[in-house]
């Protein structure tokens, strides 16, 4: 459902697309809830002023080339061809200051909540994080199963650690590699990278392995999974 809204030009268009998929009561409740909050959110939306300002700033930002180069490295890391599918689209959602933000990859839509005044450097880590989820979705299912089976065979915690990699690797790439490159003065291993402690800790432990793999042009394979699990689990 969220993907439908991200891919629709207007709220009404999204509701129209969803109507055949929902019961009459569910659709009516959703429509009324959106109508109830619409006038308040339109103050935040402000005719798209915040995302428009962000895009205009990003188009002029010399860091675009740096971000493109990093994303190209990450494509090699996942070992996929992103041109086999339509390119992902950023769905920029303005939110007020003073609260946390949310981001999510929904198929080919990368939802990013942004605040007024934020720049490409502020959002580079999130763009990389959600793009990493998108690229992982392009990894063939057979290869995903093979890597999971390999991890499970390493030790008793291999399968559990590998499941953490679903969020920990994008976090190591985004909040680790990208944020260090784009916001070096505020970047720290001690600061929060992810909102759950388990993923946060795992991402920081595998950060050096992931960063070195990017620099070497390595692909996410069994050997890289082995090194990442060793780093995540620490000495025994």
Of 54, 80, 114, the domain-final residue: 114
- Give every CB contact of residue 169 below 8 A, 6+ residues apart in sequence: 132, 136, 203, 206, 210, 220, 228
As a whole number, mean pLDDT of residues 178-184 equals 97
Averaged confidence pLDDT in the chain? 95
13 with 78, same domain? yes
100 with 62, same domain? yes
Look at residue 124 and tell me if it is in a domain. Answer: no
Look at residue 132 and tell me if it is in a domain. Answer: no
CA distance linking residue 12 with residue 30, whole number of Å: 11
Q: What's the pLDDT at 44?
A: 93
152 with 82, same domain? no
Look at residue 84 and tell me if it is in a domain. Answer: yes
Q: What's the pLDDT at 234?
A: 81
Give the confidence band of 158 by pLDDT, cuts at 50, 70, 90.
Answer: very high
- Give every CB contact of residue 156 below 8 A, 6+ residues apart in sequence: none
Q: What's the pLDDT at 167?
A: 97
6 with 110, same domain? yes
92 with 187, same domain? no
Class of residue 69 by CB neighbours under 10 A (exposed 0-12, middle 13-18, buried 19+) = exposed
Of 98, 114, 130, the domain-final residue: 114
CA distance linking residue 85 with residue 96, whole number of Å: 34
pLDDT in tens, 72-115: 999 999 999 999 999 999 999 999 988 788 999 998 899 999 99
CA distance linking residue 107 with residue 101, whole number of Å: 20
Contact yes or no for 127/105 (Cβ under 8 A)? no
145 with 217, same domain? yes
As a whole number, mean pLDDT of residues 145-163 equals 95
- Give every CB contact of residue 185 below 8 A, 6+ residues apart in sequence: none
207 with 107, same domain? no
Which residues constitute the domain of residue 91?
2-114
106 with 167, same domain? no
Q: What's the pLDDT at 85?
A: 94
CA distance linking residue 226 with residue 232, whole number of Å: 10
Q: What's the pLDDT at 236?
A: 56
92 with 146, same domain? no
Of 80, 98, 114, the domain-final residue: 114
Look at residue 93 and tell me if it is in a domain. Answer: yes
As a whole number, mean pLDDT of residues 114-134 equals 96
Sheet of strand 89-94, all strands in order from the earlier edge strand to the far edge: 89-94, 109-114, 103-106
195 with 94, same domain? no
145 with 181, same domain? yes
Among 123-127, 153-157, 179-183, whose mean pLDDT is lowest?
153-157
Residue 32 has pLDDT above 80, yes or no: yes
- Give every CB contact of residue 155 below 8 A, 6+ residues apart in sequence: 229, 233
Look at residue 126 and tell me if it is in a domain. Answer: no
- Residues above pLDDT 70, as percent of the chain: 99
Look at residue 122 and tell me if it is in a domain. Answer: no
Determine the angle formed by the axes of helices 63-78 and 120-138, rounding to 10 degrees: 20
Q: Strands 89-94, 103-106: parallel, antiparallel or unpaired by DSSP?
A: unpaired
Look at residue 159 and tell me if it is in a domain. Answer: yes
pLDDT in tens, 182-233: 999 999 999 999 999 999 999 999 999 999 999 999 999 999 999 999 999 9
Look at residue 169 and tell me if it is in a domain. Answer: yes
Q: What's the pLDDT at 98?
A: 84
Structural domain count, the chain: 2
211 with 170, same domain? yes
Q: What's the pLDDT at 184?
A: 96
């Amino acid at each position: 459902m969220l993907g439908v809204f991200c891919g629709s030009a207007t709220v009404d268009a999204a509701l129209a697309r969803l109507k055949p998929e929902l019961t009459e009561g569910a659709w009516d409740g959703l429509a009324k809830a959106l109508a109830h909050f619409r006038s308040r959110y339109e103050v935040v939306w402000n005719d798209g002023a915040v995302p428009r300002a962000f895009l205009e700033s990003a188009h002029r930002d010399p860091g675009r080339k740096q971000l493109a180069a990093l994303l190209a490295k990450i494509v090699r890391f996942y070992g996929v061809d992103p041109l086999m599918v339509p390119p992902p689209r950023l769905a920029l959602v303005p939110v007020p200051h003073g609260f946390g933000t949310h981001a999510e990859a929904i198929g080919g839509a990368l939802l990013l909540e942004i605040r007024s005044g934020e720049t490409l450097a502020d959002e580079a880590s999130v763009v990389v994080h959600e793009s990493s989820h998108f690229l992982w979705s392009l990894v063939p299912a057979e290869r995903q199963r093979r890597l999971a089976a390999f991890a499970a065979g390493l030790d008793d915690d291999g399968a559990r650690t590998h499941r953490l990699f679903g969020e920990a690797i994008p976090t190591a790439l985004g909040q680790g590699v990208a944020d260090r490159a784009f916001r070096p003065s505020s970047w720290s291993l001690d600061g929060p990278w992810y909102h759950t402690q388990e993923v946060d800790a795992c991402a920081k432990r595998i950060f050096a392995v992931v960063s070195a793999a990017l620099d070497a042009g390595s692909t996410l394979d069994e050997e890289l999974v082995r090194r990442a699990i060793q780093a995540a689990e620490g000495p025994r």
